């Protein structure tokens, strides 16, 4: 059991090794994998007074964003630019029109798609809605590790017992393409993962890095999905996401959504519509950067899986994920320790920056020197 902390290196400073120890919660035990249950979640706190509700993966990235070689950011913000809405577009912003266009892209009816303030809210709303069903017992949530922490941490928050196991469960959650592994499951793998689950939630945050169709096109029963403008479009400032319900749940969820959420700001709606208008250009540029970086990663790790998203899980790494992460920090390299994603033996590497080939070369030198 360790507390992941280390030096934050600032670019261009005279004293780049300014060590900042953060008061983190204890993270996953190195014994993870010896049982069928998931490791206990780290506390939702970074130790900052006055800002207690956070999750450790975001804190890790934010607290070390000054690293010269940033392999920790999974979105395209800073790499591509999305258009800003004009005053006329803000005045004419229509959330029903945004719902219609997003529904057409996903391949579902508009009545099944609900706009949210980002994918995190979309995932939380779906899990909260589904958690109301079980009575008199502890519901189970299936996760396949490594996995994006807010998915299973949110399930825990709403009373689910998180397990990495087959068999009957109340809920199954997964990111597709996978975060942090970067791969895309086949339709058969998706069907096997959903088998035995009363409901399944698929986070499709990274889908638009590919030309893959939404999981909703498979028409599997009881499958929910979410998406966002944050990753491929780099539009973090818009704070727009969405959740897609099964047909049978659309009316009930509409009432729930109407009670617990607020309308999306007109500026955000207009910005999302403008981004969709310019979507082909943005995605063309994004995929060009990603393909170049993916080729560099493939040359460095020829035996790894084919990546469908700009994230990869380097596993195992010398000395284990936490120790190796700190070694990277000493070289001003930011990666994410696998202990924050449910698998302590590896680290997550992100392929989102134009400087990735250079950053990867430095990373590989550190990795090779750690053997």
Condensed to tens digits (0 to 9), the pLDDT of residues 249-293 reads 999 999 999 999 999 999 999 999 999 999 999 999 999 999 999
**Whole-number Å distance between alpha carbons of 144 and 74:** 20
> Which is nearest to 263 in space by CA: 92, 94, 90, 105?
94
- Asked if pLDDT for residue 4 goes beyond 80, the answer is no
Q: Judge whether 108 and 220 are in contact, CB under 8 Å.
A: no
Same fold, 55-74+284-371 and 87-277: no
Q: Long-range contacts: 96-102, Cβ < 8 Å, 24+?
A: 97/273, 98/240, 98/264, 98/269, 98/272, 98/273, 98/276, 99/242, 101/273, 101/276, 102/227, 102/242, 102/276
87-277: what CATH class?
alpha beta
Domain ranges within the chain, ordered by starting residue = 55-74+284-371, 87-277
**Per-residue pLDDT reduced to its tens digit, 72-111:** 999 999 999 999 999 999 999 999 999 999 999 999 999 9
55-74+284-371: what CATH class?
alpha beta
pTM for the predicted model, two decimal places: 0.86
Residue 29, pLDDT score: 31
Q: Judge whether 16 and 332 are in contact, CB under 8 Å.
A: yes
- Asked if pLDDT for residue 318 goes beyond 80, the answer is yes
């Amino acid at each position: 059991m360790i507390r992941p902390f280390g030096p934050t290196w600032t670019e261009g400073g005279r004293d780049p090794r300014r060590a900042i120890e953060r008061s983190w919660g204890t993270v996953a035990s190195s014994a993870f994998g010896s049982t069928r249950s998931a490791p206990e979640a780290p506390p939702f706190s970074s130790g900052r007074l006055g800002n207690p509700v956070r999750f450790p993966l975001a804190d890790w990235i934010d607290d070390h964003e000054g690293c010269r070689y940033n392999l920790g950011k999974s979105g395209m913000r800073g790499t591509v630019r999305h258009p800003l809405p004009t005053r006329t577009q803000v005045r004419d912003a229509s959330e029903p029109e945004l719902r219609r266009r997003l529904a057409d892209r996903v391949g579902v009816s508009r009545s099944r798609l609900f706009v949210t303030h980002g994918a995190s809210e979309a995932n939380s709303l779906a899990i909260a809605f589904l958690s109301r069903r079980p009575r008199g017992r502890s519901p189970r949530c299936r996760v396949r590790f490594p996995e994006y922490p807010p998915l299973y941490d949110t399930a825990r928050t709403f009373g689910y017992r998180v397990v990495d196991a087959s068999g009957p469960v109340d809920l199954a959650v997964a990111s597709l393409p996978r975060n942090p592994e970067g791969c895309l499951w086949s339709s058969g793998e998706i069907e096997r993962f959903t088998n035995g689950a009363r409901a399944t939630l698929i986070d499709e945050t990274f889908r638009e890095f590919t030309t893959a169709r939404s999981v909703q096109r498979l028409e599997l029963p009881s499958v929910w999905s979410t998406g966002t403008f944050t990753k491929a479009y780099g539009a973090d400032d818009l704070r727009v996401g969405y959740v897609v319900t099964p047909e049978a749940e659309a009316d009930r969820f509409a009432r729930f959504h109407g009670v617990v959420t607020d309308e999306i700001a007109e500026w955000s709606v207009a910005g999302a519509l403008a981004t969709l208008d310019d979507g082909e250009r943005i995605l063309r540029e994004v995929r060009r950067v990603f393909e170049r970086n993916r080729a560099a990663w493939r040359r460095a790790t020829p035996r790894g899986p084919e990546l469908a998203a700009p994230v990869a899980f380097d596993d195992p790494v010398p000395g284990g994920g936490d120790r190796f992460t700190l070694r990277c920090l000493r070289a001003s390299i930011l990666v994410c320790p696998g202990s924050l994603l449910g698998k302590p033996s590896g680290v997550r590497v992100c392929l989102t920056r134009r400087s990735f080939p250079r950053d990867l070369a430095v990373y590989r030198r550190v990795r090779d020197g750690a053997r």
